[in-house]
Structure 1
Amino acid sequence: MVAPAANKRVKNKRVSRNIIIGSEAWQLPPVGHPDRPKNVPPDHTKRWTVYVRQPEGDPALTTWLNKVQFKIFNTYENPLRTCENPPFEVTETGWGGFSIDIRLHFIPASGEKAQYRQHFLQLEKYGDEAMQAEQERTGCVRSEFLEVVQFNEPTEALFDALTAEDQWNYLMPAGKGGSKKASLGANGRMKRGMPNGERSAQLPEKGAEEVPFSQDQEQALIDLLKSKIEQVDKELEKETKKREETENKLKDLRNELGHEAAQQAAHQASGDRSRRR
């Protein structure tokens, strides 16, 4: 059998993979407490972890992901952290949230350039009352999002890796005697993507307690973003009308008072707006 070409592309094919980019944060014991880790600066109040993971039951990340780089705040020692093997995560302590730049590097056979993502490190409780109550109960503030990585017309080598059976092997740990035994979820059911039927890297249509991400949730997020965009468009329209009204008033002033007086009035109006800010 001819080996797949490293640079030849599979035409008219697109393969997608889901990843979870997120963070978790926990409260640190106060200074002087016996459970507080040693060598933690006294002003640090949280321990946090930022990560790139695969949804439960999805094909193995390492099929296509070579390494992940996290660019954390520049006050940390070695702010550019590189993870070449799973788990792809960084754990530190701190006191405030910030944006983390994430670079995804693909396996050399992919012929793909690195892709960039960004994640805000959420350290304080957020969301509605129910979400904040759950965060208080568990002691963990979790903020994560589902991202999709798409390979358009992948190389033959990458396409073979993305369609190979061994990308599911991690779901089947060896049982007694070295035999493969399918993993079960906490509810006793097969985990999503297990070989009890068709295996798929696609999101399930419906969500459930044991299914953290689904097509329904994805559509709900899309609808929410659309509604927010509509709100922003309406506000922009209002501001545009206000600007047009102001310009028309200035035009009328120029006609009534003359150009010099209109300039003085415009300067005074600009000063009033600055003071209000």
Structure 2
Amino acid sequence: MSKPEENSEEKESAQILNKKLKDVEISIPIVYGNIAFWLGKMSNEYQSHKWTIYVRGATNEDLGVVIKRAVFQLHSSFNNPTRVIEAPPFELSEAGWGEFEIAIALYFHSDVCDKPLNLYHHLKLYPEDEPGPVSIKKPVVVESYDEIVFPEPSEGFLARVQSHPAVNLPRLPAGFTLPPPMPVEDTSKRKRGDTKDSPLAQWFMKFSEADKLLQLAAARQQVQAHIAKLRRQISLINGQNQHLKSPSNQ
């Protein structure tokens, strides 16, 4: 059974959306880590803590606009140690007694990137350098800040996230017009995925370095936009010089 061919307008539209933008970067600040609660009198030798491993937006915004699914690889002693989270919030809760390294694979939407990003987090259950008895009310919180950078994004990707608060966008060249925003795949099946109202949000860390890193990212994007402008000016000057040197003008 043959597949209908795309008409010329559809092909042209797809080519525009897939066009890569030179000298442009999109960055997404993220935080990944775990929160662990001691179970107190309810604990036993096999389950001393209840914990949650997660990947969240640095300001608790919904990451579903960029990330399609997250895969958490737990210790082999767990039932079904490979856990797949298909929609935000990208988090997983379990109970146990031991600390171990968790591999996290982030898969992106088709117009973002075709390769997963691999992260690693060492699950922490017990506090370090804290005097006194362990509390059932105050959890152990261990988080890491990072920034995912996508160089030369497609026009479709840039258009889709242009107004999303979780994404840092570059300053575009003057006169550049983005195509209409495109919806995320299966948007009708997606729920609100930010973590602002999460019951764990009160324990999330606020990174003093995050603002500086975001400022550096914004400054880098401005420099790149300036470099792109200079390259266009140099190209224009070279073109004029070639025209002056052509035989027809001698």
State whether TM-score is above 0.5: yes
Matching of residue 122 in structure 1 with residue 112 in structure 2: no
| Letter paired with 2:106 | L
Partner of 2:46: 43
Partner of 1:23: 34
Per the alignment, do residues 211 and 93 of structure 1 end up closer, same or farther by CA in structure 2, a change over 3 Å counting?
A: closer
Count of matched residue pairs: 167
Q: Return the match for 2:87 from 85, 88, 102.
A: 85
Structure with higher Rg: it is 1
Deviation at 1:135, TM superposition (A): 7.6
Partner of 1:156: 155
| Letter paired with 1:46 | H
Matching of residue 213 in structure 1 with residue 212 in structure 2: no
Deviation at 1:125, TM superposition (A): 0.5
- What CA deviation, in whole Å up to 9, does each residue of 1:109-144 have, x standing for no partner? 124311100000000002x44xx6798484200000
Local SS of the residue matching 1:145: strand
TM-score normalised to structure 2 length: 0.58
Assess if the C-alpha contact under 8 Å between 2:105 and 2:119 holds in 1. yes
Q: Distance in 2 between matches of 1:72 and 1:93?
A: 12
Assess if the C-alpha contact under 8 Å between 2:45 and 2:97 holds in 1. no
Partner of 2:237: none
Assess if the C-alpha contact under 8 Å between 1:64 and 1:106 holds in 2. yes
Per the alignment, do residues 85 and 139 of structure 1 end up closer, same or farther by CA in structure 2, a change over 3 Å counting?
A: same
Tell me: higher relative CO, structure 1 or 2? Use CA pairs within 8 A at least 6 residues apart: 2
Q: Distance in 1 between matches of 2:206 and 2:120?
A: 21
Per the alignment, do residues 14 and 168 of structure 1 end up closer, same or farther by CA in structure 2, a change over 3 Å counting?
A: closer
Assess if the C-alpha contact under 8 Å between 1:7 and 1:111 holds in 2. no
| Letter paired with 1:62 | G
Assess if the C-alpha contact under 8 Å between 2:73 and 2:82 holds in 1. yes
Deviation at 1:42, TM superposition (A): 5.0
Deviation at 1:86, TM superposition (A): 1.3
TM-score normalised to structure 1 length: 0.53
Q: Distance in 2 between matches of 1:42 and 1:137?
A: 16
Partner of 2:187: none
Assess if the C-alpha contact under 8 Å between 1:44 and 1:94 holds in 2. yes
| Letter paired with 1:51 | Y
Between Structure 1 and Structure 2, which shows a larger proportion of helix residues? 1
Local SS of the residue matching 2:64: helix
Local SS of the residue matching 1:62: coil
Q: Which structure 1 residue ranges, 5 or more long, are not aligned?
A: 170-184, 186-209, 220-277
Q: Percent identity?
A: 28
Assess if the C-alpha contact under 8 Å between 2:17 and 2:155 holds in 1. yes
Per the alignment, do residues 102 and 216 of structure 1 end up closer, same or farther by CA in structure 2, a change over 3 Å counting?
A: closer
Deviation at 1:44, TM superposition (A): 1.4
Deviates more, 1:143-152 or 1:4-13: 4-13
Q: Distance in 2 between matches of 1:45 and 1:214?
A: 32
Matching of residue 8 in structure 1 with residue 19 in structure 2: yes
Local SS of the residue matching 1:63: coil
Assess if the C-alpha contact under 8 Å between 1:111 and 1:155 holds in 2. no
